[in-house]
Amino acid sequence: MTQTEPSIFTRIIDREIPADVVYEDDSVIAFNDIAPQAPVHVVVVPKTADYRDVVELASGDPALLAHVVEVAKQVADERAGGEFRLIFNNGESAGQTIFHVHAHVLGGGLSEGTLGSK
């Protein structure tokens, strides 16, 4: 499927849509989720729109995937005492609604058996 419109993440990267940015470098941006599912809920997004999901990213640019994980850890160290869940939704039936690869960093008092809801 070819995407004709830029994703909301591309629009955030391009500063067309505001976001509460908590980290940014040349290859990724991280910002607070607008509908948090946990006390800490940050989305880490590669600045390239070349990969729809984590499987494409893993095969196409494993170093970028490693960097996404590294940034997730840094965010969790700063905001959640270093303990976190890292979630990639992969496919529509798994809850992926934006087909620009991204990771959800959830932390801050989560309990076993929950996916992060407050």
The band of 116, judged by pLDDT with boundaries at 50, 70 and 90, is low
CA 55 vs. chain centroid, Å, equals 14
pLDDT at 117 over 60: no
Say which residues have a Cβ less than 8 Å from residue 26's Cβ, sequence separation at least 6. Answer: 47
At residue 5, the pLDDT reads 86
Gyration radius (Cα) of the chain, Å: 14
As annotated, the active-site residues are 102
Domains of the chain plus CATH, in order, are 30-107 (3.30.428.10)
Q: What is the mean pLDDT of residues 54-73?
A: 97
Q: What is the mean pLDDT of residues 11-27?
A: 96
Computed over every residue of the chain, the mean pLDDT equals 91
At residue 118, the pLDDT reads 46
pLDDT at 2 over 70: no
pLDDT in tens, 68-104: 999 999 999 999 999 999 999 998 888 889 999 999 9
pLDDT at 115 over 80: no
The C-alpha atoms of residue 59 and residue 57 are separated, in whole angstroms, by 5
